[in-house]
Structure 1
């Protein structure tokens, strides 16, 4: 019996989309990949990045499209890696016109609070299962940490650094705290955000500085601060009654102490995987078992909404004209 050819789509071939493509190029099954972007420049970058991957185990073909309506009628998986301002409309158009088994969505999911429930209803209507690409919970070091923190009564995380991108990156650490604590019921205090608005590197989007404080229903906390000054190192501190970690992700280093060694600190490596080495693992899990270790849509929706509402509250307080959206991506 001939091997089944997998049909995978990627909508949005920018920086992250092209990394998803590189990962899928490593699959060990015969796969047809369809990459969609309205920008021919982005498609050309994706073509070049695909060529960088050598796969001698499987036949992988690519098609580059400028219109998502040219996708096949049925797809195993579609990765939606567009910017947040158009993602909901892209998903609506996709599901109303194509049959998709699984969706993998980039974050920040959507800019409008109403989109979260609308897309949830659409997924249910079309019987499509979706997950959100908050991949820190599948990084090997954080997975090892998870097993060490299982006995912790509560958890406290502090994330600090210069211009770390609160709008873009906060959800990664909210998701990580949710992973460690198995909590999705969170409250977010935005009172310590700065009033200055920073224009994002991506046109039409903004960034914020200052501090967000997140608390779960079991009293675990996350404090995340982005400073507008330069040269403040990016550090993640995780503390519990069983173990503590000081992580510098950019340097691939970590200090660890735990109660069993009387809190003696030791230095160890912290491995930061590339997205181009992760998406293929997620896709293989989905194709084999129908699920994966990323947060599913419902979990991520519960974590996204309080964050969007906290940012909106702050933007309204400083009288920023946000046109009923939260302009982050």
Structure 2
């Protein structure tokens, strides 16, 4: 659950809620690159923040002493703050002063647990709620442009070598 292979999914979810047409993203100074569980690929641990107008996203991914990687997400959309903590298994809606309005259990599903829903929608409705290609390109471009700066320059022009993430 590192930033390299999963941040784009949460950026996409943030866009689903906030419906913006552009954004900026910055990795925090504490990010570090580690080996991915997939041979030849890397993972990003640390934090990132993104902004679009008055909408904000903060992702924090840490590696615990046992090697497990955990992700914490904070969204500010239309003045409402929402925190998702995989570590605590909770989603919270908060006031600006930090007072918790509502708390519910959170389970982050793997993509393999979601694909069947998309396929069923395509079969039954001839449509699905996936992000449009144009929006996906916009979201990926900013993320990959900033992620590429974290990796050492490569003599290879292959994208997987420029940004070796899955």
Q: State the TM-score, normalizing by the size of structure 1.
A: 0.41
Q: Distance in 1 between matches of 2:64 and 2:107?
A: 27
**Residue 203 in structure 1 maps to residue 39 in structure 2:** yes
Structure with the bigger percentage of helix:
1
Instruction: Give 2:121's aligned residue.
Output: 285
| Cα shift readout 1:75-103 (whole Å, capped 9, x = no counterpart) | xxxxxxxxxxxxxxxxxxxxxxxxxxxxx
Aligned residue in 1 for 2:16: 179
Alignment of structure 1 residues 259-270 onto 2, 5 Å: 265-270=101-106
| Aligned positions of 1:213-292 closer than 5 A | 213-216=49-52, 218-228=53-63, 230=65, 234-240=71-77, 243-249=80-86, 252-257=89-94, 265-273=101-109, 275=111, 277-292=113-128
Q: Deviations over 1:183-236 (max 9, x none)?
A: 131222236253x431111001011233322222x2322222333553786332
**Cα deviations across residues 282-325 of structure 1 (Å, max 9, x unaligned)?**
1122123332111122221111111111111232xxx3437232
CA distance in 2 between counterparts of 1:234 and 1:197 reads 16
1:323 — aligned with what? Answer: 156
C-alpha distance 320-200 of structure 1, shift in aligned 2 (>3 A): farther
Larger radius of gyration: 1
CA distance in 1, matches of 2:74, 2:130: 22
Gap change, CA 1:326 and 1:240, over 3 Å in 2: closer
Among 3, 7, 27, the residue aligned to 1:190: 27
Closer/same/farther in 2, CA of residues 179 and 307 from structure 1, 3 Å limit: same
Per the alignment, residue 294 of structure 1 pairs with 130
Inter-CA distance 173–277: structure 2 relative to 1 (3 Å threshold): closer
Q: 1:310 aligns with which of 136, 146, 150?
A: 146
Specify the SS of the correspondent of 2:92: strand
> Structure 2: any 5+ residue segments left out of the alignment?
none
1:267–1:213: structure 2 CA closer, same or farther, 3 Å change rule?
closer
User: Quick check: which one's strand share is greater?
Assistant: 2
TM-score for both structures, normalised by structure 2: 0.74
Runs (4+) off by over 4 Å: 271-277
Q: What is the RMSD computed on CA atoms of the aligned residues?
A: 3.0
Can you give the 5+ residue segments of structure 1 that lack an aligned partner in the other structure?
A: 1-163
Q: Counterpart of 2:150 in 1: which secondary structure?
A: helix
Count how many residue pairs are aligned between Structure 1 and Structure 2: 158
Q: 1:187 to 1:250 in 2, by over 3 A?
A: same
Alpha carbons 1:193, 1:314 under 8 Å: kept:
no
